[in-house]
Amino acid sequence: MTTYVVLLPGDEAVWESATEEERASMYARHGEFARRLAERGHTVTAGAELTHSRQARTVRVDGVTDGPYAETVEQLGGFYVIDSDDLDDLLAICGVLVDGVGGVEVRTTVDHSS
């Protein structure tokens, strides 16, 4: 079993200006994503929606600053941690999430236990 992190970058301004119907549609996509994962044997072990990046605190050598580390349009909006034996199938299921948001990033975690 391999552990993957599905990172959900996005434009926070789009989310902030979304209507209730648009937000409900996005949450429904996440529900469909979770349903498909479970049906196909993938296991979600963690995940969360993150607060707006303006609430982030960045720790640097010269101290702590408010806001995100990177000044970009897209910020990390959430993530899932998923155990899976089938990366290709996981990537296919991630297609449910990319509709309307542009893309997600899937990365393997590093196992230091071996």
Q: Tell how strand 2-11 and strand 63-66 pair up.
A: unpaired
| CATH 3.30.70.1060 at 2-108, yes or no | yes
The answer to whether 50 and 78 are in contact (CB under 8 A) is yes
pLDDT digits (tens, 9 = 90+) for 20-69: 999 999 999 999 999 999 999 999 999 999 998 888 888 888 888 787 66
Helix, strand, coil percentages for the chain (3-state, nearest 5): 35, 35, 30
- State which amino acid sits at residue 113: S
| pLDDT, tens only, 85-98 | 999 999 999 999 98
